[in-house]
Structure 1
Amino acid sequence: PPTADPLGPANRLVLAPGLLGGTIASSSGRLSVGGKSPLTGGIKESNVGGLPGAALARLGVTALVVEGQAASGQWFTLEVTPAGVGLLDATHLVGQTIYETVARLRSGRSRRTAVLAIGPAGEMRLSAAAIGVTDLDGVPARHAARGGLGAVMGAKGLKAIVVDDSGSDPVPLADAGLFRQTTRRFAQALREHPSTGKSLPVYGTSVLVNVINELGGLPTRNFRSGVFEKAEHISGEALHDLIVARGGQTTHPCMPGCVIRCSNVFPDENGKEQTRGFEYESIVLLGANCGIGDLDVIARMNHLCDEYGLDTIETGDTLAVAMEAGLADFGDGERAIALIEEIGAGTPLGRVLGHGAAVTGRVFGVSHVPVVKGQGLSAYDPRALKGTGVTYATSPMGADHTAGNALPGTVLPGVGRLDTTQREHQVDLSRYLQKLAVIFDSVGLCWFTRGPILADNSLLLDMLKGRLGREFSMDDLWTMGRETLRRELAFNRAAGFGPQDDRLPDFFLTEPLPPRGLTFDIGDDELRETLAGLD
């Protein structure tokens, strides 16, 4: 319920695959993890790839809902198999990192066994705690990271969830012929699209580093600048070349059947895997936002976050606020690593940092804190990407780009491509993208697949018809998007949020962003129009 304590027994932890989950459709295995966020105090959906979404769908699970709370000191693993659901004692796993936990739980099991686990951050119920999720290789390098849902899992006494679909039947298809024919068309469209067929498979999500830096919107030194002088050193091109030189994998799927393969495996200078799933958000917020321009240092930071179970976005924002407070110098990678280790060790300082940027700012008297509804901003400065800024301000999720990210080149139907640095039509664009993001989350498709689907709606509509046996129109899906947003807004209003919470921190409005001197100039009245009528 909206008034529940996020870390109390009344809060629910929900894991739901999408409508296309468990099928052979490319990029359809996304999993939505939800609950009331301890970071924002509102509704939260954190979306993740990996194995569990498809595995739950193959087991016929529409949603796995965890209620109640274990007694103090009790820890469990929740196991989901074709035989049913059960709780197993997990006290022997307490204190272990996510990687250690997953290794023990997967030992002797099927290669298809999926695991979701928390690390020390989740056990300590820190608000920046993430849930680690296994990929195709059984490595927990995917994360339901935003909103502190790892703390919700920890508060329930769940150290891990194991999903083993061995022996399960395939997902039933109402029209197998139509479905298979459409999934082939869909895969081909993804391969032919400039984004999903060319840039993302080669450079991954970090292809955006140079793009956003050239736009003047790359968060640098706690959002003090939009350009990082070492951007080329941490760009997708630099990452690609370094991985190739060291014999790593520049392309890697995060879930079964994905033809985009935008993930990666990043080795150290000796060729040993150092981290994987090394993405744009992590690289920019742990890197440029902290003044750090060394991919090896950022990779160590990224891996520590994965071990402890920390959201790299919130952690990058928090470290930059800590640097602003004088706890480290911008650019001091070793000190940044030491601060992350403090979080993992649960020291008093580490616990402050582990509760995120807003708490860290309050404790150390820093006012320049990039958060909305208590959640740190993603790696796009809203003064240069104003549509994304509208989403940060108005989304029920808080400052979360996955709720509707308005990147350069995004098309607003009926208007065309917008200049992200100009205010015109940005409210309309954010409204459109927020509804669209809900649709993609609901069907279980990766957001990156939207290009081919928006160009040919029949790809999505025919897959849904082949899977479920009923006709869908785009109007049906837009209605679903609006209704979902309406319910999320109603939850937040009942939890105590009002229009006064739907805004960016003042410094985005008043401090011009170097080098272009941009400010976020979309007023409160306009922001209130974004989702007007839905609540």
Structure 2
Amino acid sequence: MFYRINMKDLLVKEDAGEQYAGLGGRALSSRLVEEEVEPTAHPLGEKNKLVFVTSLLSGTGAPNGGRMSLGAKSPLTGGIKESNVGGTMGMKLGRLGVRGIIVEGLPAQEGTYVIQVSAAGVSLVEMPELKGLNIYDTVAKLQDKYGPKTAIGCIGTAGEKRMAAACVGFTDMEGAPTRQAGRGGLGAVMGSKGIKAIVADDSGAGKLVYADEDAYRAGAKKLANALLTHPVTSQALPAYGTDVLVNILSEAGGLPTRNFSEGRFEGANDLGGETMAETIKARGGKVGHGCSPGCVIRCSQIYHDKDGKVLTGGFEYESVWSMGANLGINNLDDVALMNRLCDDYGLDTIDTGVALGVLMEAGLFTAGDSKAAISLIHEVGQATPLGRIIGAGAAVTGKVFGMRRVPVVKGQAIPAYDPRAVKGQGVTYATTPMGADHTAGYAVATNILNVGGKLDPLVAEGQVDLSRNLQIATAFVDSTGLCLFVAFAILDIPEGLEGIVEMCNARYGWNKSVEDYLEMGKQVLRDERHFNKQAGIAEGSDDLPDFFRTEKLPPHEVVFDVPKDELNKVFDF
């Protein structure tokens, strides 16, 4: 069932949504936005819509299948945006039979509203006492009201102030808001609608119906076995989290350092997953933590400060990089504090860290000065003029300060892999409809980790084909609700992919092939590109900033040299 919330009259209506049958996750959110949002609409205006949708496997407890998608026109890129997230919300909404919640229009008067979801349906309640609170305090108040086992997604200062880099924070299985729908500024869209939070209570939910439950379980077992066999998903990620990549990328010369001026960071080991794991264990924290129900990889963690108190969780490689090597900072505790502040204020750590890197190059602070960086994040939380500039993202920050070296694509900051040294990833950054997004086609797997084959990250040949295939497959995976990291296993272990196909088919009574599901992925990309074209994002925007093509990156002294006419072939399908 779909629920439409009209913020103008504060009414909630049920909608069978038959036109969206067979879709879930990214396929569903992108189709909704492509069909129902005027491409030229202002992202914070009444014609934009914010959608919360479950995925094909939501509610099933599938191995690493707890993710859901949010969608809207992005205030950061001006194009279509899908942001998916872990935590417990996707599982609970799926168990409650919710396929989508579509928030439309703007409130006639300013207010602070919470979407309530339960076995009784969806309702809207005004809670003015939440206004002005950041995410951790908001979650605490909502847990007092609704109970500690509810799933919560909410915005902080950045979202309320409609900053273009604002995220939506969701609770994990311990009830801490450490999971973010991070990219594209969907927290700002949520704030523009007057929505402070969404709360889901799945007590009383009925039993999920499968077309063939035995076949579903057989498929789930295949995928689980693949995840528990592959060395990346069964050993490296559980032991060290995604932060294991810091030393790997630095050694490969692809760790963007001091605003993408170098590819290796002398302080990499101080920030890397090995050091993080040792620190967490010494302080009584937790490694090998699952971020959502059904997670068998367990790459998350709970990070304690020097006094043994919980400081942050879900401390991902991209966040460690953006606040660490990108700023020349090697103090892991300071980086953890910056991660916590971004989670609390409701900010995308990637765009915030890259914006700070641009300010560092502009001379506002020196590389390695973590106190200055922390102070600047507080400015965002206080919504000072400078804080609002940072909260608008790296692209705006670069424009305001007249900077030339601004690492963004389509207005969104480039993440933690330098495209000159990991060229398959550079192709993905340049061409994905989402703006620079490492998750849209994770070529690092093949370029650096030799998963799914091996392709030299420093050569241009073959990178377009690699990125194209990964973008198609990823669009499908994002539609199932499976974590991106299942790709490591299914690229090398065919039975894992078979299991995914069997789960989806058995859940709904379908008889689709792998090729059918890959066609779904292609259609997702067609929908997204069509929206962007109508929104005025020209195909000529599918490229990286000039400095990546002209400035050589140490230590390999390479540039991004995939020809522009080759980039134009990524979507030849």
Structure-2-length-normalised TM-score? 0.91
**Aligned runs of 1:322-471 on 2, under 5 Å?**
322-409=359-446, 416-454=453-491, 455=493, 456=495, 457-471=497-511
Structure 2 gaps, min length 5:
1-37
Deviations 1:118-154 (A, max 9, x none): 0000000000100000100111100001000000000
Partners of 1:30 and 1:53 within 8 A in 2: yes
1:412: Cα distance to partner?
A: 13
1:264 counterpart = 2:301? yes
Instruction: State the partner residue of 2:289.
Output: 252
Instruction: State the partner residue of 1:65.
Output: 102
Number of aligned positions between the proteins: 532
1:173: Cα distance to partner?
A: 1.1
Task: Give the match's secondary structure for 2:52.
Answer: strand
Instruction: State the partner residue of 1:48.
Output: 85
1:299 counterpart = 2:340? no
Give, in whole Å, the separation in 1 of the partners of 2:512 and 2:152.
33
Give, in whole Å, the separation in 2 of the partners of 1:447 and 1:198.
17
Aligned counterpart for 2:248 among listed residues 208, 211, 221: 211
Give, in whole Å, the separation in 2 of the partners of 1:388 and 1:453.
19
Instruction: State the partner residue of 2:544.
Output: 504
Aligned partner letter, 1:468: Y
1:465: Cα distance to partner?
A: 2.1
1:64: Cα distance to partner?
A: 1.4
1:69: Cα distance to partner?
A: 1.1
Task: Give the match's secondary structure for 2:71.
Answer: strand
1:171 counterpart = 2:208? yes
Percentage identity across aligned positions?
A: 53
1:411: Cα distance to partner?
A: 10
Aligned partner letter, 2:501: L
Deviations 1:367-420 (A, max 9, x none): 11000000000100000111111111111000001111101536999x941011
Partners of 1:110 and 1:166 within 8 A in 2: no
Structure-1-length-normalised TM-score? 0.97
1:100 counterpart = 2:137? yes
Partners of 1:453 and 1:459 within 8 A in 2: no
Task: Give the match's secondary structure for 2:124.
Answer: strand
**Aligned runs of 1:15-26 on 2, under 5 Å?**
15-26=52-63
CA RMSD of aligned residues (A): 1.5
Aligned partner letter, 2:64: S
Give, in whole Å, the separation in 2 of the partners of 1:461 and 1:194.
22
Task: Give the match's secondary structure for 2:512.
Answer: coil
Deviations 1:289-336 (A, max 9, x none): 011001000001000000000000001100000111111111100000
1:514 counterpart = 2:541? no
1:235: Cα distance to partner?
A: 0.4
1:112: Cα distance to partner?
A: 3.2
1:72: Cα distance to partner?
A: 4.0
Instruction: State the partner residue of 2:23.
Output: none
Deviations 1:166-195 (A, max 9, x none): 110132111111222332332222111101
Aligned partner letter, 2:338: M
Instruction: State the partner residue of 2:10.
Output: none
Instruction: State the partner residue of 1:34.
Output: 71
Instruction: State the partner residue of 1:526.
Output: 566
Aligned partner letter, 1:135: D
Give, in whole Å, the separation in 2 of the partners of 1:111 and 1:101.
13
Task: Give the match's secondary structure for 1:107.
Answer: helix
Aligned counterpart for 1:226 among listed residues 258, 263, 268: 263
Give, in whole Å, the separation in 2 of the partners of 1:289 and 1:465.
44
Give, in whole Å, the separation in 2 of the partners of 1:18 and 1:408.
24
1:83: Cα distance to partner?
A: 0.8
Partners of 2:163 and 2:185 within 8 A in 1: yes
1:500: Cα distance to partner?
A: 1.8
Instruction: State the partner residue of 2:22.
Output: none
Instruction: State the partner residue of 2:519.
Output: 479
Give, in whole Å, the separation in 2 of the partners of 1:436 and 1:183.
19
1:435: Cα distance to partner?
A: 0.5
1:24: Cα distance to partner?
A: 2.3
Deviations 1:425-465 (A, max 9, x none): 10001100111110111011001112333422321111112
**Aligned runs of 1:149-160 on 2, under 5 Å?**
149-160=186-197
Deviations 1:201-254 (A, max 9, x none): 000001111111111010110001010000010001010111111111012110
Partners of 1:412 and 1:432 within 8 A in 2: no
Give, in whole Å, the separation in 2 of the partners of 1:37 and 1:188.
38
Instruction: State the partner residue of 1:242.
Output: 279
1:20: Cα distance to partner?
A: 0.7
More displaced 10-residue stretch of structure 1: 256-265 or 180-189: 180-189
Give, in whole Å, the separation in 1 of the partners of 2:447 and 2:380.
38
Give, in whole Å, the separation in 2 of the partners of 1:119 and 1:48.
17
Aligned counterpart for 1:313 among listed residues 350, 353, 366: 350
Instruction: State the partner residue of 1:81.
Output: 118
- The structure-2 alpha-carbon separation of the partners of 1:104 and 1:412, relative to structure 1 and needing over 3 Å to count, comes to closer
Task: Give the match's secondary structure for 2:81.
Answer: strand
Partners of 1:453 and 1:460 within 8 A in 2: no
